[in-house]
Amino acid sequence: MMRPYDAQRGLARLAQRVRGSLPSDLPALFALTDPVRTPDPLAFASQLAPGSGLIYRHFGAPERFQVGSTLVEIARQGGLQLFVSSDCELADRIGAHGIHWPERELGQAWARRMRGDSRPFTASVHSGAACMRAARAGIDGVFHSTLFASRSATAGRPHGIHAAAALARGTKMAVYPLGGVNTRTGRRLIGLGFAGFGCVGALSGD
């Protein structure tokens, strides 16, 4: 049986193959925490391959400042890029590498850019129109979901590869498919213009 450590590195290598020669300062592989599917974000982060990105989604957890501070140290030691989702106060306090924005908060991302925040921004999008709004808001990379069928409780109807690939070809932002991406489905993304991909279940063993 493949160990979690080895599985993470296999996914990281696959994400680099998906990116190919496409230039981007963002990681090829992003891992997203989830209170249900990754209940121990510290252990989850500790297993990630160097060079990966980690998006900490705490959904208001009272221990978020303590966890966030520890995640920063894990990221530094492990060569990760830590993004905090939807919490500028936490991102500022712990010195996160970047900020991730849900689609509904793209207006806040734009306001933050206007105040001079030059850190990398990523965002979730679910349509071409949302992708255009993200570009106007100064977003560097978007997660387009849901790509394949997913076990996530918030996953919508899968959009499929062709819609996501068309979106990637139509923007200068880095586009990351999200939802149901694993070592099997990820191979289908090679050569389609994606900057890599994002995972939750494939990295957590779900």
Torsion of CA 146, 148, 152, 153, to 10 degrees: 70
Q: What is the DSSP letter of 105?
A: G
**pLDDT digit string (tens) for 50-102?**
999 999 999 999 999 999 999 999 999 999 999 999 999 999 999 999 999 99
Amino acid 92 reads D
Residues of the chain with pLDDT under 70: 1-5, 149-157, 204-206
What pLDDT does 2 receive? 42
pTM, full prediction: 0.92
CA distance 178 to 183: 13
Q: How far apart are CA 108 and CA 183, in angstroms?
A: 35
- Report DSSP state, residue 178: B
What pLDDT sits at residue 84? 98
**Distance (Å, whole) CA 167 – CA 143:** 11
Taking residue 166's Cβ as centre, other Cβ atoms within 10 Å add up to 12
- Tell me what pLDDT residue 206 has: 56
